[in-house]
Amino acid sequence: MNLIDPLIEFQPELQQIRRDIHAYPELCYEEQRTAGVVAQKLTDWGIPVLRGMGGTGVVGIIKAGSSARAVGLRADMDALPMQELNTFAHASRHTGKMHACGHDGHTAMLLGAAHYLAQQRNFDGTVYVIFQPAEEGGAGARAMMEHGLFEQCPMDAVFGMHNWPGAAVGTFGVTPGPMMASSNEFEVIVQGKGAHAAQPHKGVDPIMVAVQIAQGWQTIVSRNKSPIDAGVLSITQIHAGSATNVIPDEATLIGTVRTFNTEVLNLIEQRMRAVAQHTAAAFDAQVDFRFKRNYPPLVNHVKETALAVEVLQAMVGTRNVNAAVEPTMGAEDFAFMLQQKPGCYVFIGNGEGAHRTMGHGLGPCNLHNPSYDFNDELLPIGASYWVRLAQAYLSR
Ligand SMILES: [Zn+2]
Ligand SMILES: [Zn+2]
């Protein structure tokens, strides 16, 4: 691996920062301490900061040379509402909160790059280091944009990165086009008419209607969308009734829809609504259809992805960069940024779990698992990528 030497030497300090953040995890929009640590480090290193953007977001501004061009590098800072099972020294001090997605590591890697870029100033233009709140369901990226991120910090492109357990350390995965799915949720309430269970003819049974709707919806994925397009519709909850001898008034269907593009999503939502409404009408029931779009699909831009691949190949070798990685149905709010700015999001291999030593829980080292821990070996790798990417982007 062709990493940046001062970043290899800086690894112990980055590890200490990473483990400190890991020990004090904070949830969506509560990242006060974490944002404080980030802002303090940036300030100590002579980097001007903007604070409170989109709630708890922080941006560091690093300038060199005379070019008007600018690039954004983005990390996320929030943790998850879950109990950590690890018992090592840097395990969570906050009951029921845990850095189980590695955002502690993302923050530390970007801090490492900021430190190096501020010391060396060996690039031409402006690098914005963006530390966002609330990636885990809170749309912190969008909150920063609504607060004026791209107006206050005008940038030509923006880049993101996430650790990927199971992929070897020193490898990267990326693909042009859709890489992560849109995430959407629905709640559909079928309004029938309650009755005695022995006198169904005096009511309208919402359970039977809900079952017909559930069956009908599955034909959307199998019969309406093109078999080439990816999409999934999962009903994850059905709620109705409270007694064995009562036909309830209503039944509720809850679940999620994931797609890689908006056209397929539009089609699925529209068909779901039609099937629900017409099925309900056929049975003399009513339906309250609620569909909420959370995160859009994450779509990498072709030119910026080619640049990221070039930078990565020069750093870790061609065979360690999967430039056509299989997309995942997970979602990521960096997608909002890529809707407004060209850019690219990559996966950085977090290792197979060999980095785990004493004190780990018994579970696998997977994202959102209570035994997960970010792999500190990645710190100089991810930081080196950020630096080389910024330098390369601004040089062309
Ligand atoms: Zn996550
Ligand atoms: Zn994450």
Give pLDDT tens digits for 266-313: 999 999 999 999 999 999 999 999 999 999 999 999 999 999 999 999
Q: How far is the CA of 101 from the centre of ligand 2 (A)?
A: 4
Alpha carbon 30 to chain centroid, angstroms? 17
pLDDT at 197: 97
Provide the pLDDT for residue 358: 87
- Give the span between the Cα atoms of 253 and 229, in whole angstroms: 25
pLDDT at position 351 over 90: yes
Q: Say yes or no to pLDDT of 353 above 90.
A: no
Q: What is the mean pLDDT of the chain?
A: 97
Q: How far is the CA of 103 from the centre of ligand 2 (A)?
A: 6
Run of H or E including 232: strand 231-240
Q: List the one residue out of 251, 160, 266, 246 whose CA is nearest residue 211.
A: 251
Query: How many C-beta atoms surround the C-beta of residue 362 within 10 A?
Result: 7
- Structure confidence at residue 357 (pLDDT): 79
Using the mean position of ligand 2's atoms as its centre, give its distance from the Cα of residue 239 in Å. 31
- Side-chain-side CA neighbours of 138 within 13 Å: the count stands at 24
241-256: pLDDT as tens digits:
999 999 999 999 999 9
Distance 211 CA to ligand 1 centre (A): 32
Confidence of residue 263 (pLDDT cuts 50, 70, 90): very high
**What percent of the chain has a predicted confidence (pLDDT) above 70?**
100
From the CA of 174, how far away is ligand 2's center (Å)? 16
Per-residue pLDDT, 82: 97
Q: Which residue has the tokens 């997605």?
A: 101
Please check the confidence at residue 141 and state whether its pLDDT lies above 90: yes
Query: Tokens at residue 374, please?
Result: 């970010």
Q: Is 182 helix (H, G, I), strand (E, B) or coil?
A: strand
Work out the percent of the chain whose per-residue pLDDT is above 90: 97
How much is the pTM? Answer: 0.92
Q: What mean pLDDT do residues 48-69 have?
A: 98
- 3-state SS assignment for residue 204: strand
First to last CA, the chain: 24
Question: DSSP class of residue 318?
Answer: G
Compute the average pLDDT of residues 72-101: 97
Any idea how long the chain is? 396
